[in-house]
Amino acid sequence: MEPAMNRLLLRLVLFCAALACLAGPARAALDPALLAGFHGDFSSRVAAIEALGVAGGDDARRVLAALEEGNLGVVGERVLIVDGDTVRDAATGEAAEVAAADVDLITVNNRVRRALSAAHAALSLLAGERGERLAAAQNLSENASETLLPLFERALAAEKDEAVRGVLTRAMAKVNLGAANPAKRLQAAEALGESSDPAVKNMLAVLLQKNGDTWAEPDIAVRTAAEASIAAIDRRVATAQHIGTVFSGLSLGSILLLAALGLAITYGVMGIINMAHGELLMVGAYATFMVQTLFRSYLPGWLDWYVVAAIPVAFFAAALVGVAMERLVLRHLYGRPLESLLATWGLSLVLIQAMRIIVGPQNVELANPSWMSGGIELAAGVVLPWNRIVIIGFAVFVLVLIWLTMQKTRLGMFVRAVTQNRPMAGCVGVPTARVDTLAFAIGAGIAGLGGLALSQIANVGPAMGQGYIVDSFMVVVLGGVGQLAGAVWAALGLGIVSKFLEGWAGAVIAKILVLVFIIVFIQKRPQGIFALKGRFADS
Amino acid sequence: MRTPFTVRLIQSMPRGGWIALAIFALVAWVGIPFAHLALPESHPLHVSAYTVSLLGKILCYMVVAVAMDLIWGYAGILSLGHGLFFALGGYAFGMYLMRQIGRDGSYGADLPDFMVFLDWKELPWYWGGSDSFAWALFLAVAAPGLIAFVFGYFAFRSRIKGVYFSIITQALTYAAMLLFFRNETGFGGNNGFTDFKRILGYAITSPEMRTLLFALSALLLMACLVLGRYLVTSRFGRVLAAIRDAESRVMFIGYNPLHYKLFMWTLSAMLCGLAGALYVPQVGIINPSEMSPANSIEIAVWVAVGGRGTLVGAVLGAGIVNLLKSWATVSFPEYWPFFLGFLFIAVTLYLPDGVVGLWRKLRAGRKAAPVAEQPLHTPPPGSTTDPLPEGATAPQHAAPATAAKGAAA
């Protein structure tokens, strides 16, 4: 009887084991050792929570969820989950014959709660979506410790996504930097060179500190590796920052370009400076605002696309104002450029004050459409915002359009002809007066488009255009009169140079330096970068 | 034989001009001081402190207008940066006024209040000598003069003119404004200088000091007019006018326009600096907004309203526009920019020769004399007002220009 009984028992145990195997690791009971910590004080509970997070699996998830809801408790040696009236064993999930009232529930304090959130992150690191995994990895790497290393290793083995892998590798290296084994520290110091995070650099810099005669890091090989890694990080951060500066320079340049293209055309054709050009920008921006208001009231579902709808509105609104200016005032001042300067300044005063009285003196609010908000993060702290990227693209679009108009259409040919030689163009039958009006309309319309672009990144108010007239004229001067290519190079060059100077000397000094540079430049090349070739008697 | 300088000076102005100057001097040196100081406030002819200050301010503006006219009306160079020279003179004298406050500032320190506020321990080097009245006066003339000389030398040497020159002067004053807005520049940042207490130890707010400053402004204006008149009627002035009307031809004859333009340009800036130095104690404040491009372009409008190329026109224009302004900004503050804007447009469109031109035309019409006095500046069509620098395309608007003139006539 005894042996038979023993055999039976053995079979039963094997059967159970097989069942457990079939069900897979998720079904397997938790190792009771993992749960033992819950009997102790807060510190041992925190350790138990961490261990559960590292172990992973559905059972661990279940236990942690119960703890979070305040349903985990202990009775004697057992750890139990209270579920209404039924009580289950936390390790196996089986019902336990204990009354719910007898269970001594575990209280959750802030420390436990922190540990819980870390454990949750650990769990989602293994099983979440990509975004969740990335967030979990970043969360964990901030408070990484030795206990998390096995988890990182497991996650790395399963992880395919490069971004998550990068975060995990760095987090592991970070932990390893504090390891006792110099080989491990060396490996970590090398791995950290991949980072572009200034915080990682600080971490490495700590190793190189010298306290009296002793280094923070005793091993020379590790120190050398750390130095190399710091240099690599510095290079990467510097590159990202340079890209960021070039980008903001491009973005400033494209705004300048939009403001200056129109001015270049009108100045080229008529030889007058339109001091009210900035106000045409303002008209374009207000037209955009008007379109936004209309969309808010009548097409709220399409609000995201109001900017696109505003393109023709801004163009024609500004072009209309431009034609009115040309017909009513400038036409009568041909041949008197200095007086035109004063008259257009008067026009700008009138336009600003009119807008102040009609719309109000405060700035109006224009919202970025959702597809233009956010940005691309190059490295820690260097973000390329979408609205600026879109504006650069828009400037290119406008430029191509203008170029096509100037080079491929009859009107463009007339405009070029009048720019080069007005009397001769008139002699061969170009209707110079009509070309003037149309060129002015196009120039004003482009200014309106510039206003539309500006409205997405700057304040829109009645006096917004005032700051642009000097800058855009500088672009025209620098680029050479009537030269589209010149305007493009000058605008981008000015934009990038002023952004670099700004980083070096501050915004005001940068502005002053740029102005001084232009004044000096004109000494050397009074006709701009791209001068029209030819000989003219009058100077 | 050369006529002596004094004789030439006296002969440069017709007798009517001298009589007008004498009447003006009588009013400014005797009439207004008497009405302000001697007559009791209840007297109907009493001139209030506000009026004296306002008139003194306008006299300073008139000096600026004359300086502007000398360079724009007689040399054809439109400066949109004369506010800079005016403000520089003001700042130079303001430094002295700040030092005269002494320990009476709100911090009771040796340094001006704004420096204490910035936690500066000693005066920057460029404040050296600022406690000397003579140095302040010298600086008020020399600082604008030097900047104008250097800027003008390079600009005129490369023959920048027309709208190019105008816009660059505007950029210059704009850059200076940005510079002076910074606290670190050492001129009080946004707030500039204010809260002056005394000049040469005498209280700045006393009626006697006010009257003295007013009388000095009148003296400066008269001196400017006499000097200006002498210059524009001299051989120098004729060459300058010739340069304005046809620079290339003057060069072909053998003159170097650089010297003529540069002299007039620097002189004009120095006169502006003096006007600024007299202006600041009368209004009691100087700040960077004086350098804003809008202020400078307004100076051009004073001259345009009065009539370019006539000194009396500049004086009249500055007076008319500023009296209108001080009345309108109180009565219709909302509509003043409209008015000013339309003034710019209307004057350029319909009154190319300003008030003086209008008056001459009316007088000529009444006499029915076809030979109207041509104002000095009427340029031959398609001449120096060409905006483009050497070698660039030169759009010739000769026909429309004459047409416009015909329409205006």
Q: What is the pLDDT of residues A20-69, one digit of tens each?
A: 444 444 445 677 777 777 777 777 777 777 777 777 777 777 777 777 77
Of A382-391, B190-199, B355-364, B397-406, least confident by mean pLDDT is B397-406
A487 lies in a domain? no
Of B71 and B330, which is predicted with more confidence?
A: B71
**Quick check: B75 and B237 in contact, CB under 8 A?**
no
Cα B405 from Cα B396, distance rounded (Å): 15
Chain A residue nearest residue B155, CA to CA: A523
**Quick check: A322 and A445 in contact, CB under 8 A?**
yes
Cα A51 from Cα A64, distance rounded (Å): 11
Q: pLDDT over 90 for what percent of chain B?
A: 42
The beta strand positions in A78-205, using DSSP E, are 78-83, 86-89, 104-105
Q: pLDDT over 70 for what percent of chain B?
A: 89
Percent helix, percent strand, percent coil in chain B, to nearest 5: 70, 0, 30
Q: Rounded mean pLDDT of chain B?
A: 84
How many domains is chain B built from? 1
Residue A8's pLDDT is: 55
Q: Are residues A209 and A255 in the same domain?
A: no
A472: chain B residues, CB-CB within 8 Å: none
Q: Are residues A311 and A456 in the same domain?
A: yes
Q: Is B293–A353 a contact, with Cβ atoms under 8 angstroms apart?
A: no
Q: What is the mean pLDDT of residues A96-118?
A: 76
* Residue B128 three-state SS: coil
Q: Are residues A295 and A397 in the same domain?
A: yes
Assess whether pLDDT exceeds 80 at residue A217.
Answer: no
Which residue range is the domain that position B228 belongs to? 31-408
Residue B267's pLDDT is: 96
Cα A117 from Cα B76, distance rounded (Å): 77
Q: Are residues A299 and A445 in the same domain?
A: yes
B19 lies in a domain? no
CB atoms within 10 A of CB A101: 8
Instruction: Return all residues near A71 (Cβ < 8 A) that are at least 6 apart.
Output: A81, A82, A83, A105
A474: chain B residues, CB-CB within 8 Å: 171
Residue B281's pLDDT is: 93
Assess whether pLDDT exceeds 80 at residue A342.
Answer: yes
B96 lies in a domain? yes
Assess whether pLDDT exceeds 90 at residue B136.
Answer: yes
B12 lies in a domain? no
Q: What is the mean pLDDT of residues A366-385?
A: 76
Of A124 and A403, which is predicted with more confidence?
A: A403
Cα A327 from Cα A110, distance rounded (Å): 74
Which residue range is the domain that position A103 belongs to? 21-111
CB-closest option in B80, B393, B400 to A335: B400
Q: What is the mean pLDDT of residues A159-183?
A: 75
Residue B230's pLDDT is: 93
Four-point Cα dihedral A209, A210, A214, A219, nearest 10:
40
Of A444 and A149, which is predicted with more confidence?
A: A444
A195 lies in a domain? yes
Residue A6's pLDDT is: 60
Residue B381's pLDDT is: 42
H helices within B127-203, ranges in order?
133-157, 162-181
A308 lies in a domain? yes
Which residue has 């608007």 as its token pair?
Answer: B397
Instruction: Return all residues near A11 (Cβ < 8 A) that are at least 6 apart.
Output: none
* Residue B154 three-state SS: helix
Q: pLDDT over 90 for what percent of chain A?
A: 14
Q: What is the DSSP annotation of A17-58?
A: HHHHHHH-TTTSPPPHHHHHGGGS-HHHHHHHHHHHHHH-SH
Instruction: Return all residues near A337 (Cβ < 8 A) that are at least 6 apart.
Output: A271, A272, A273, B162, B163, B385, B386, B387
B306: chain A residues, CB-CB within 8 Å: none
Which among A390, A405, A388, A364 has a CA at the least distance from the CA of A262?
A405
Q: What is the mean pLDDT of residues B75-96?
A: 93
For residue range A446-492, what is the model confidence (pLDDT) as tens digits? 999 999 998 988 888 888 888 787 788 888 888 876 667 888 888 88
A306 lies in a domain? yes
Q: pLDDT over 70 for what percent of chain A?
A: 89
How many domains is chain A built from? 3
For residue range B232-279, what is the model confidence (pLDDT) as tens digits? 999 999 999 999 998 889 999 999 999 999 999 999 999 999 999 999
Chain A residue nearest residue B402, CA to CA: A335
A260 lies in a domain? yes
Q: Is B385–A338 a contact, with Cβ atoms under 8 angstroms apart?
A: yes
Of B224 and A504, which is predicted with more confidence?
A: B224
A535: chain B residues, CB-CB within 8 Å: 391
**End residue of a domain, out of A427, A448, A466:** A466
CB-closest option in A270, A335, A539 to B401: A335
Tell me chain B's radius of gyration from C-alpha atoms: 22
Assess whether pLDDT exceeds 80 at residue B205.
Answer: yes
- HSE-CB at A210 with a 13 A cutoff on CA atoms is 4
Q: Rounded mean pLDDT of chain A?
A: 79
Q: Are residues A380 and A422 in the same domain?
A: yes
